[in-house]
Homo-oligomer: A and B are copies of this chain.
């Protein structure tokens, strides 16, 4: 699903990752759990993700305070630790301010 975000400005956290071969089931379960948990946070606007050899997950947030609060969430921090130790061979996080947006909707 393409996230239905409001008019800019808002924030995007771009998470790019290369997976290890380890623990596919545990990883999939944790991903689902974190997506559900993120959706409950104040300032959450939506999420988009796809995986080929590279994994891309982009979460959208109202402001930097929302991103900071989510980063400090205890269950999220525990998942991040597991990610570093077990699931990711490499990753990059980029925090970006969305300045403009345009597109075409289904049927449009």
Contacts and interface: CB of A to CB of B under 8 A. Distances in A.
Interface of A: 1-3, 5, 8, 12, 14, 16-18, 48-56, 58, 84, 88-106, 108
A12 B94 contact: yes
A90 B102 CA distance: 11
> Is chain A's binding surface mostly helix, strand, loop or mixed?
strand
A84 B49 CA distance: 22
Given A3-B16, A18-B106, A98 B101 contact: no
A93 to B, nearest CB: 6
A52 B37 CA distance: 22
B93 A96 contact: no
Nearest to A15: B103
